[in-house]
Amino acid sequence: MQAAEKKQLTIAGVLFALAILFFVLFSSSEGEALEYFYDESEQKLFTTPTGSIPPIKGINDDQLDGVRAIVIAPKGRCGDESVRRIAYLEKWSPQLKQQMEAAERAKAAGHAVRNIVGRSQRKFHQFVRRKDSTQWYHMNTDEAAKIMATLRTKDDEGKIPEVCTPNR
Protein backbone atom coordinates (compact mmCIF):
# COMPACT_ATOMS: atom_id res chain seq x y z
CA MET A 1 0.00 0.00 0.00
CA GLN A 2 1.41 3.37 -0.97
CA ALA A 3 1.73 6.36 1.36
CA ALA A 4 -1.07 8.27 -0.40
CA GLU A 5 -3.46 5.34 0.01
CA LYS A 6 -2.54 4.98 3.69
CA LYS A 7 -3.18 8.68 4.20
CA GLN A 8 -6.60 8.45 2.53
CA LEU A 9 -7.50 5.38 4.56
CA THR A 10 -6.43 7.09 7.79
CA ILE A 11 -8.47 10.20 6.96
CA ALA A 12 -11.51 8.06 6.12
CA GLY A 13 -11.15 6.20 9.43
CA VAL A 14 -10.86 9.45 11.40
CA LEU A 15 -13.92 10.91 9.65
CA PHE A 16 -15.88 7.74 10.34
CA ALA A 17 -14.91 7.84 14.03
CA LEU A 18 -15.91 11.52 14.23
CA ALA A 19 -19.27 10.73 12.61
CA ILE A 20 -19.95 8.03 15.19
CA LEU A 21 -18.89 10.33 18.03
CA PHE A 22 -21.13 13.11 16.69
CA PHE A 23 -24.07 10.69 16.41
CA VAL A 24 -23.62 9.41 19.97
CA LEU A 25 -23.22 12.87 21.49
CA PHE A 26 -25.95 14.71 19.62
CA SER A 27 -28.57 12.12 18.78
CA SER A 28 -31.90 12.80 20.44
CA SER A 29 -32.68 10.08 22.90
CA GLU A 30 -36.26 9.53 23.93
CA GLY A 31 -35.18 8.59 27.40
CA GLU A 32 -37.37 6.67 29.75
CA ALA A 33 -41.08 6.57 28.91
CA LEU A 34 -43.11 8.44 31.51
CA GLU A 35 -46.76 8.78 32.46
CA TYR A 36 -48.72 11.20 34.59
CA PHE A 37 -49.71 10.48 38.18
CA TYR A 38 -51.60 12.66 40.66
CA ASP A 39 -50.71 13.02 44.33
CA GLU A 40 -54.07 13.08 46.10
CA SER A 41 -52.81 14.74 49.29
CA GLU A 42 -50.73 17.39 47.51
CA GLN A 43 -53.23 17.71 44.64
CA LYS A 44 -50.41 17.91 42.10
CA LEU A 45 -49.44 16.11 38.92
CA PHE A 46 -46.10 14.33 38.78
CA THR A 47 -44.46 11.89 36.40
CA THR A 48 -43.21 8.37 36.92
CA PRO A 49 -41.89 5.61 34.63
CA THR A 50 -44.51 3.91 32.50
CA GLY A 51 -45.74 0.69 34.04
CA SER A 52 -46.07 1.93 37.60
CA ILE A 53 -49.10 0.30 39.21
CA PRO A 54 -51.36 2.71 41.09
CA PRO A 55 -51.60 3.60 43.84
CA ILE A 56 -47.92 4.42 44.36
CA LYS A 57 -46.03 6.64 46.79
CA GLY A 58 -46.86 10.27 46.16
CA ILE A 59 -44.43 13.16 45.96
CA ASN A 60 -44.40 14.25 49.59
CA ASP A 61 -44.37 11.16 51.82
CA ASP A 62 -44.59 7.38 51.99
CA GLN A 63 -48.38 7.33 51.59
CA LEU A 64 -49.74 5.37 48.62
CA ASP A 65 -51.68 8.39 47.37
CA GLY A 66 -50.24 8.61 43.87
CA VAL A 67 -52.87 7.56 41.32
CA ARG A 68 -52.64 7.44 37.54
CA ALA A 69 -53.87 10.63 35.88
CA ILE A 70 -55.33 10.47 32.39
CA VAL A 71 -54.39 13.90 31.03
CA ILE A 72 -55.99 15.28 27.87
CA ALA A 73 -55.69 18.35 25.66
CA PRO A 74 -57.13 19.52 22.36
CA LYS A 75 -55.66 17.52 19.46
CA GLY A 76 -52.07 18.56 18.79
CA ARG A 77 -51.78 20.76 21.89
CA CYS A 78 -50.44 18.41 24.57
CA GLY A 79 -47.31 20.55 24.78
CA ASP A 80 -49.37 23.55 25.91
CA GLU A 81 -49.70 23.21 29.68
CA SER A 82 -52.43 25.87 29.79
CA VAL A 83 -54.91 23.66 27.90
CA ARG A 84 -54.04 20.29 29.43
CA ARG A 85 -56.45 18.91 32.02
CA ILE A 86 -57.04 15.74 33.98
CA ALA A 87 -59.86 13.74 32.39
CA TYR A 88 -59.96 11.24 35.25
CA LEU A 89 -57.88 9.35 37.80
CA GLU A 90 -57.46 5.60 38.12
CA LYS A 91 -56.15 3.09 40.64
CA TRP A 92 -56.23 -0.64 41.28
CA SER A 93 -57.30 -2.64 44.31
CA PRO A 94 -54.57 -3.82 46.70
CA GLN A 95 -55.18 -7.43 45.52
CA LEU A 96 -54.73 -6.63 41.82
CA LYS A 97 -51.77 -4.34 42.51
CA GLN A 98 -50.08 -7.11 44.51
CA GLN A 99 -50.75 -9.66 41.75
CA MET A 100 -49.43 -7.38 39.00
CA GLU A 101 -46.27 -6.52 40.95
CA ALA A 102 -45.66 -10.22 41.70
CA ALA A 103 -46.10 -11.01 38.01
CA GLU A 104 -43.54 -8.33 37.07
CA ARG A 105 -41.02 -9.71 39.58
CA ALA A 106 -41.60 -13.28 38.39
CA LYS A 107 -41.26 -12.28 34.74
CA ALA A 108 -37.97 -10.54 35.51
CA ALA A 109 -36.75 -13.74 37.21
CA GLY A 110 -37.97 -15.92 34.34
CA HIS A 111 -40.87 -17.50 36.27
CA ALA A 112 -44.64 -17.55 35.82
CA VAL A 113 -47.25 -16.42 38.35
CA ARG A 114 -50.76 -17.80 38.72
CA ASN A 115 -53.50 -15.19 38.37
CA ILE A 116 -55.23 -14.55 41.67
CA VAL A 117 -57.57 -12.08 40.00
CA GLY A 118 -58.71 -13.36 36.60
CA ARG A 119 -59.04 -11.09 33.58
CA SER A 120 -62.82 -11.14 33.75
CA GLN A 121 -62.67 -9.99 37.38
CA ARG A 122 -60.16 -7.18 36.87
CA LYS A 123 -62.80 -4.56 36.15
CA PHE A 124 -64.01 -5.11 39.72
CA HIS A 125 -60.48 -4.28 40.94
CA GLN A 126 -59.88 -1.19 38.82
CA PHE A 127 -61.38 2.13 39.85
CA VAL A 128 -61.84 5.58 38.32
CA ARG A 129 -62.95 8.95 39.61
CA ARG A 130 -63.03 12.56 38.55
CA LYS A 131 -60.38 14.86 39.98
CA ASP A 132 -63.01 17.00 41.72
CA SER A 133 -64.71 14.02 43.41
CA THR A 134 -63.71 11.68 46.21
CA GLN A 135 -65.94 8.80 45.04
CA TRP A 136 -64.17 5.93 43.25
CA TYR A 137 -66.20 3.72 40.86
CA HIS A 138 -65.52 0.14 39.70
CA MET A 139 -64.67 0.05 36.00
CA ASN A 140 -67.77 -2.03 35.29
CA THR A 141 -70.28 0.63 36.47
CA ASP A 142 -72.29 3.08 34.41
CA GLU A 143 -70.75 5.96 36.36
CA ALA A 144 -67.24 4.79 35.42
CA ALA A 145 -68.30 4.57 31.77
CA LYS A 146 -69.54 8.17 31.93
CA ILE A 147 -66.27 9.31 33.47
CA MET A 148 -64.17 7.53 30.84
CA ALA A 149 -66.41 8.87 28.06
CA THR A 150 -64.57 12.17 28.56
CA LEU A 151 -61.96 10.72 26.20
CA ARG A 152 -64.56 10.54 23.42
CA THR A 153 -66.37 13.81 24.14
CA LYS A 154 -65.83 16.53 21.56
CA ASP A 155 -64.57 19.93 22.68
CA ASP A 156 -65.97 23.36 21.72
CA GLU A 157 -64.34 23.04 18.29
CA GLY A 158 -65.96 19.65 17.69
CA LYS A 159 -62.71 17.71 18.10
CA ILE A 160 -62.04 14.67 20.27
CA PRO A 161 -59.25 15.39 22.80
CA GLU A 162 -55.88 13.72 22.71
CA VAL A 163 -54.44 11.73 25.65
CA CYS A 164 -51.15 13.36 26.67
CA THR A 165 -47.96 11.78 27.94
CA PRO A 166 -45.06 13.67 29.53
CA ASN A 167 -42.65 12.66 26.75
CA ARG A 168 -44.74 14.21 23.95
What region does 19 belong to: left with phi over 0, alpha with psi -120 to 50, or beta?
Answer: alpha
Average pLDDT value for the chain: 84
Enter the pTM of the model. 0.75
pLDDT at 18: 46
Show the low-confidence residues of the chain (pLDDT under 70). 1, 4-30, 115-117, 168
